């Protein structure tokens, strides 16, 4: 759907890539299948559907908060789409209990004093709406502790309130570009990274301290939330970090079925928040009107992943599996284009490419579109626990030996520049060889370093080779990741086409490779910290 301004001559690229491939692959131990790469490049770069797929996931399906109607729409569409491409074993698979779904049904808020100004914002996820249309003077609460709240007792019913947080700083002009790509120097540095050990647990003393601090903060927050609810606060206005109308969103309550109720809470843009805060601090009267409606969905508290396969055809290897995936859920204030419709669209497009070139893989190729990643990698962790093993006990299933590797994509819309080995150095030379035909697309870096925060960790945690690709950062951290501006507009067409092409080639070779991808030593059963 989106016209690309980065459009370049694909034929030139294809030929350059193949030339490189021929010249390098013959001398390497690991083999790349040049003919297959050529077909994949042709389909992925010249007949891409990745933007159409992304359009369906974002614009058509909408925000995809875990267990929301939007996620369900997107999941149902993916099932239909995978089926129409001829994939097998297409289904929604429950991974365990998630909790409540939630969505915004109406959002309206504006200052009416000292003058009218409609505000940019969104209710925090899993918070209730206002009691109809409300209007009140805004009360500025100064409270660091629960005791500080006592003077406000009996005065907040139906009122719109905000906290006077000293930590909130004035906005600054940005003299740096929002979007960046990795430089060659940065990639070279990544390539030299030493393998990192498995995530080490903090020492018991430090852990206890940190835990105690966190527990205390959580306690204060919980007590304040209870106070707001008991006092029947009409609406709590919260600071939405960001700039120029972009703000970062989050949840304001738990999605658990038995979650404690909370007062309505609205995240407004930094500009709108600071506007009110400056006026209140200066003693000016501010009045706000708001009308917020939200819905909860608890009829089916199960969480689901979308699963689909291209079945293996090799007599000996067809029971083995290569998995790819990316999370499909998003936050609620936009359509989660870079987090992570981008990754999900690339993985769907990867499957489409492999079907389009009529690939009959030796091993089974399975794609998973995870849910509830944003709440703690729940979808992938649930799936891994069910299919492969429990990271807590390291009790493994028989399928644990049958999976060669898992590849994940979830760092926005930026081009693939290489891959994180996640400490699995034995996989390094293999991936280096497989990247050779894609040097012309800027993908060449293999780093022994780790990256975290997404679903490959669920696999890595039970000793399955789980990888995430290196991607150009673009404006992920400044503008899109969890913001109200994470829309289809942010998607870089050329980058996504190339990503699907590269992933398809990796999957191809993983499927066809005689041996599985080498494994790291199995993680040890974690120690229970001593008290």
170 lies in the binding site for its own copies (CB under 8 A): yes
CB of 250 to its own copies, least distance (A): 17
Listing DSSP states for 393-444 in one string gives TTEE-GGGGGEEEEEE--S-SPPEEEEE-TT-GGGHHHHHHHHGGGGGGT--
302 upstream amide cis, omega within 30 of 0: no
> Comparing C-alpha atoms, which of 264, 225, 235 is closest to residue 137?
235
Give, as ranges, the residues between 436 and 475 that touch its own copies (CB under 8 A): 474-475
69 lies in the binding site for its own copies (CB under 8 A): yes
User: Are β-strands 403-408 and 321-327 bridged in parallel, bridged antiparallel, or unpaired?
Assistant: parallel
CB of 286 to its own copies, least distance (A): 10
77 lies in the binding site for its own copies (CB under 8 A): no
Stretch that binds its own copies, among 20-28, 94-102, 189-197, 272-280 (CB under 8 A): 272-280
- What CA–CA distance (Å, rounded) separates 3 from 494? 10
179 lies in the binding site for its own copies (CB under 8 A): yes
CB of 302 to its own copies, least distance (A): 22
Tokens in use for 30?
A: 């690991």
With respect to its own copies, which residue has the nearer C-beta, 132 or 170? 170
Q: Who's near 491: CB < 8 A, 6+ residues apart?
A: 2, 51, 54, 58, 337, 338, 341, 342, 413
Ramachandran category for residue 29: left, alpha or beta (phi over 0 → left; psi -120 to 50 → alpha): alpha
Q: How many Cβ atoms from other residues are within 10 Å of residue 455's Cβ?
A: 29
Give the per-residue contact string, 283-312, with its own copies (x = CB under 8 A; - = no): -x----------------------------
Q: How far is CA 32 from CA 23, 379, 408, 519, in A?
A: 11, 33, 21, 21
8 lies in the binding site for its own copies (CB under 8 A): no
Give, as ranges, the residues between 485 and 524 that touch its own copies (CB under 8 A): 485, 487-490, 492
133 lies in the binding site for its own copies (CB under 8 A): no
Stretch that binds its own copies, among 28-36, 279-287, 340-348, 374-382 (CB under 8 A): 279-287
53 lies in the binding site for its own copies (CB under 8 A): no
With respect to its own copies, which residue has the nearer C-beta, 191 or 274? 274
Q: 242, 169 in Cβ contact below 8 A?
A: no
- What CA–CA distance (Å, rounded) separates 402 from 314? 14
174 lies in the binding site for its own copies (CB under 8 A): yes
Q: Tell which one of 35, 177, 185, 515 touches its own copies (CB under 8 A).
A: 177
168 lies in the binding site for its own copies (CB under 8 A): no
- What CA–CA distance (Å, rounded) separates 433 from 347? 21
With respect to its own copies, which residue has the nearer C-beta, 156 or 268? 268
Give, as ranges, the residues between 106 and 125 that touch its own copies (CB under 8 A): 106-108, 110, 114-118, 120, 122
CB of 2 to its own copies, least distance (A): 5
210 lies in the binding site for its own copies (CB under 8 A): no
Listing DSSP states for 126-171 in one string gives T----SSSEEEEEEEE--SSSGGGGGGTTS-BT-EEEE--TTPPPP
In the complex, which residues of this chain contact its own copies (CB under 8 A)?
1-3, 5, 55, 59-63, 69-70, 73, 103-108, 110, 114-118, 120, 122, 169-181, 244-247, 269-271, 274-275, 278-279, 281-282, 284, 474-475, 479, 484-485, 487-490, 492
């Amino acid at each position: 759907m989106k016209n690309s301004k980065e459009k370049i001559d694909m034929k030139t690229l294809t030929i350059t890539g193949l030339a490189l491939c021929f010249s390098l692959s013959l001398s390497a131990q690991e083999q790349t299948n040049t003919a297959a790469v050529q077909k994949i490049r042709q389909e992925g770069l010249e007949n891409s559907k990745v933007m159409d797929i992304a359009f369906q996931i974002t614009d058509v399906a909408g925000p995809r908060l875990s267990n929301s109607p939007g996620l369900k729409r997107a999941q149902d569409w993916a099932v239909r789409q995978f089926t129409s491409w001829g994939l097998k074993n297409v289904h929604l698979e429950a991974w365990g209990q998630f909790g409540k779904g939630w969505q915004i049904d109406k959002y309206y808020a504006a200052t009416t004093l000292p003058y009218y100004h409609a505000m940019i914002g969104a209710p925090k996820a899993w918070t209730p709406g206002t009691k109809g249309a409300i209007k009140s003077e805004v009360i500025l609460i100064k409270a660091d502790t629960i005791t500080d709240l006592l003077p406000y007792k009996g005065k907040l019913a139906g009122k719109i309130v905000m906290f006077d947080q000293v930590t909130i700083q004035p906005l600054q002009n940005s003299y740096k570009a929002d979007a960046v790509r990795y430089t060659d120097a940065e990639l070279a540095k990544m390539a030299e990274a030493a393998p990192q050990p498995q995530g080490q647990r903090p020492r018991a003393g430090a852990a206890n301290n940190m835990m105690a601090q966190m527990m205390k903060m959580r306690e204060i927050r919980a007590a304040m939330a209870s106070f707001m609810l008991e006092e029947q606060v009409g609406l709590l206005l919260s600071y939405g970090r960001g700039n120029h109308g972009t703000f970062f969103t989050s949840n304001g309550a738990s999605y658990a079925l038995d979650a404690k109720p909370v007062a309505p809470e609205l995240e407004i843009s930094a500009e709108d928040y600071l506007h009110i805060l400056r006026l209140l601090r200066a003693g000016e009267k501010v009045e706000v009107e708001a009308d917020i409606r939200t819905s909860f969905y608890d009829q089916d508290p199960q969480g689901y992943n979308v699963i689909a396969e291209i079945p293996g055809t090799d007599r000996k290897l067809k029971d083995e599996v290569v998995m790819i995936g990316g999370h499909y859920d998003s936050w609620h204030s936009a359509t989660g284009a870079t987090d992570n419709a981008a990754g999900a669209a690339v993985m769907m497009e990867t499957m489409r490419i492999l079907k389009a070139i009529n690939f009959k893989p030796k091993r089974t190729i399975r794609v998973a579109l995870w849910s509830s990643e944003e709440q703690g990698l729940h979808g992938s962790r649930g799936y891994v626990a069910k299919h492969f093993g429990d990271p807590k006990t390291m009790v493994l299933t028989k399928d644990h030996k049958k999976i060669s590797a898992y590849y994940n994509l979830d760092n926005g819309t930026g081009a693939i520049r290489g891959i994180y080995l996640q400490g699995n150095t034995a996989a390094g030379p293999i991936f280096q060889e497989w990247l050779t035909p894609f040097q012309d697309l800027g993908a060449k870096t293999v780093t022994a370093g780790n990256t975290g925060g997404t679903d490959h960790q669920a696999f890595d945690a039970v000793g399955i080779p789980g990888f995430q690709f290196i991607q150009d950062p673009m404006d992920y951290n400044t503008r899109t990741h969890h913001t109200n501006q994470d829309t289809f507009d942010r998607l870089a067409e050329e980058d996504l086409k190339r990503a699907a092409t590269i992933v398809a080639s990796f999957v191809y070779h993983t499927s066809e490779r005689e041996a599985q991808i080498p494994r790291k030593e199995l993680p040890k059963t974690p120690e229970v910290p001593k008290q």
